[in-house]
Amino acid sequence: MLRSLVITLTAALLTAAYSQPTTTTYPNCNRTFSCGPITNITYPFSGGDRPAHCGLPDFALTCRNNTITELIQNSLTYRVLQLDQAQRTLILSRSDLYNDTCPAEFHNTTLNSTLFSYDGPPNEALNLFYGCNTSGMRISPYNLFPCNSTGLNFTDAYFLIGPVPSDPVLRIVSCSMSVSVPVLRTAGNQLTNSRLSLGEALMQGFAVNYSDPYQRLCSECSRLGGQCGFDSVLGRPLCICGDRPCPFALTLKPEGSTNATGPFVGSRKVLSDLHKYVIIGVSLGIAGIVISSVIIFYIRKQFKMQEADQEISHKSDVYSYGMMLLEMAGARNFDGIEAIQSSENYFPDKIYKHVVLKNEKLDDLMTDEQEETARKMLLVGLWCIQTAPSDRPSMTKRSCRVFSKWFNGSLFLVVAVISSWILISRRQPGYPDGGRLGPGG
C-alpha cells in the first residue's frame, strides 16, 4: 500500500510539472557541422550531424567526399570556400563554373536577397557571353575564350568586367546566351590585367554576407538555455530544450516585418511564461515534499502503533502462558504460600524464594519425578510473568514453549540456565526487591 501511494503521488507530480502539449522531438541540435576546412558550424546552418530542424531551410549544408562543403540556392550548387559565423560571411564559388568556364546549363547567380547579400564593395560583376558570332571581327580580343556547349550555334565566348553597356565589342558581336557571376574585386582586377585566367578567377569565388531574420529570438533562446531551430512544417522558429520545444513561446516577428512593434517584441512574454513555469514547478516541488513528508510521518506513526499493539498483545500472551504453568504446577497450594497470597505484586518472588532458592518441599504427597516436573514448570512460569513486559521471553525466540520442552530433561540444567539469567537481571538497578526474573526478551 505504501509503495502504491508513493508511485501514484510521484506520477501525479511529474505529470503536472513536465507534461508537454506535443510529442514531436527535435534531437541533436547540440551537434555541429564539419566538412574539410569548414568545421564546428552551428545555427542557422544544418547538415551532416545536424538535422534539418536545427537550422533555417536556406542554410542547409552538404558534405561531398568528406572534403567539399556545398550550399544549394535556387537550384544552383555553390562551394563554400570559407564560413565565418562570427562575421556572418561566406566565400562561395559556383560548382558548375569551378575550374570549368563552359557549363552544361546557363543560369545567372541568384541568392535569396532577404538572407544573402553579395553586392558590396568586395565583389566585382563578371558577365559571361556564350554562342557569339565573331565573323565580323578581324582580331581576337583578350577576353575571348572557347565554349563548345550543346545548343549553341557558335563556339566563341567572351567575359566582361563591369557594366555591360560600356563595352564597345557588343556593338559588332551578337551572342545567344549570357551569365552573370560575381567575383572578388581583387580577382577581377587580376583577370583584367591578365594575371589570372578566367577559370582561376571563378574558382576564388565571391563574398557573401548572410543574416538570420530570427536572430533576436535565437539570442533570447540561447540566453535562456535553449537551442535554436526551425519547424519547416509550421514555418516558425523553435527554441529547443533537450529534444523538445522549450515551455515558453517565441513570438517576436522578423526584423522588417509589418507586424514588428519594437526592438524585441515578445521578450516580456517569453520571460513571463518562463517565470510562470518556474513558479509552477517550484510550487509543485514544495507541495510534493510537504505531502510526501505528511504521508511518511502518518505511515511511520501507524507502523509504530501497530508494533506497540502487537508487542503488548504478544507479551500478554506470554504472561497468560506463564500463569497457566504456575496454576498447573499448583503454586497457590504449596505449603507456606497461603500467607503471602494476598500480596499479588510479590507473589512470583515468594514462589522463587521458597521453592527455588530454599529448595523447600513442594508437596509431601508428590513423588520425586512429579516434584521435579513441577519445579521446571514453576521456573518457566516465573520467567514468563515478570512485571516488565520487555523482560518476558519471546514466543518465537527462546520462548516459554521452547523451555517447556525441557520438562523431560534435567532439573539441574533448567535451574542452572534460568537462575543464571535471573541472577544477572537482579543486578540491574531500578527494580524493587531484586529486579527482573529473566534476561529480557
The 10s digit of each residue's pLDDT in 159-172 is 998 876 655 655 67
13 falls in which pLDDT band (50, 70, 90)?
A: very low
What whole-number distance in Å separates Cα of residue 16 and Cα of residue 96? 56
Report the number of distinct structural domains present in the chain.
1
Nearest to 71 by CA among 83, 39, 79: 79
What whole-number distance in Å separates Cα of residue 415 and Cα of residue 409? 11
Mean pLDDT, rounded, for 386-398: 67
Residue 278's pLDDT is 54
Residue 20's pLDDT is 44
Nearest to 114 by CA among 256, 229, 263: 256
Which is higher by pLDDT, 196 or 411? Answer: 196
Backbone angles phi, psi at 286, to 5 degrees: -65, -45
Residue 428's pLDDT is 45
Residue 410's pLDDT is 54
Nearest to 363 by CA among 348, 349, 343, 378: 378
Residue 207's pLDDT is 97
Residue 354's pLDDT is 63
107 falls in which pLDDT band (50, 70, 90)?
A: very high
What whole-number distance in Å separates Cα of residue 394 and Cα of residue 397? 5
Tell whether 346 is covered by a domain: yes
Most confident of 25-39, 233-247, 362-376, 408-422: 25-39
Mean pLDDT, rounded, for 222-245: 91
Tell whether 401 is covered by a domain: yes
275 falls in which pLDDT band (50, 70, 90)?
A: low
In DSSP notation, 386-440 reads -SSGGGSPPSSSS-HHHHHGGGGS-HHHHHHHHHHHHHHHHTSTT-GGG--SSS-
Q: Which domain covers residue 351, as residue numbers?
A: 315-434
The answer to whether residue 9 scores a pLDDT higher than 80 is: no
What whole-number distance in Å separates Cα of residue 208 and Cα of residue 111? 10
- What is the share, in percent, of the chain residues with pLDDT greater than 90? 33
CB 351 within 8 A of CB 382: yes
Residue 166's pLDDT is 55
The answer to whether residue 59 scores a pLDDT higher than 50 is: yes
Most confident of 128-132, 314-318, 346-350: 128-132
Mean pLDDT, rounded, for 405-427: 50
Residue 99's pLDDT is 87
Residue 18's pLDDT is 43
Mean pLDDT, rounded, for 220-243: 91
Residue 300's pLDDT is 77
Tell whether 397 is covered by a domain: yes
56 falls in which pLDDT band (50, 70, 90)?
A: very high
Write the CB contacts of 236 (distance below 8 Å, at least 6 apart in sequence): 230, 250
What whole-number distance in Å separates Cα of residue 365 and Cα of residue 424? 34
CB 55 within 8 A of CB 229: yes
Q: What is the pLDDT of residues 19-50, one digit of tens each?
A: 444 568 999 999 999 999 999 999 999 999 99
What whole-number distance in Å separates Cα of residue 409 and Cα of residue 407? 5
Q: What is the pLDDT of residues 62-78, one digit of tens each?
A: 999 999 999 999 999 99
Least confident segment among 17-26, 79-88, 99-108, 265-274: 265-274
Give counts: helices (H), strands (E), the chain: 9, 15
Which is higher by pLDDT, 125 or 170? Answer: 125
Least confident segment among 93-97, 209-213, 298-302: 298-302
Ramachandran area for residue 194 (φ above 0: left; ψ -120 to 50: alpha; else beta)? left
Residue 251's pLDDT is 59
362 falls in which pLDDT band (50, 70, 90)?
A: low
Tell whether 63 is covered by a domain: no
Residue 334's pLDDT is 57
Residue 306's pLDDT is 64
What whole-number distance in Å separates Cα of residue 326 and Cα of residue 378? 6
Tell whether 369 is covered by a domain: yes
Tell whether 152 is covered by a domain: no
- What is the share, in percent, of the chain residues with pLDDT greater than 70? 62
Mean pLDDT over each residue of the chain, to the nearest integer: 75
Tell whether 61 is covered by a domain: no
Tell whether 405 is covered by a domain: yes
Nearest to 5 by CA among 288, 310, 301: 288
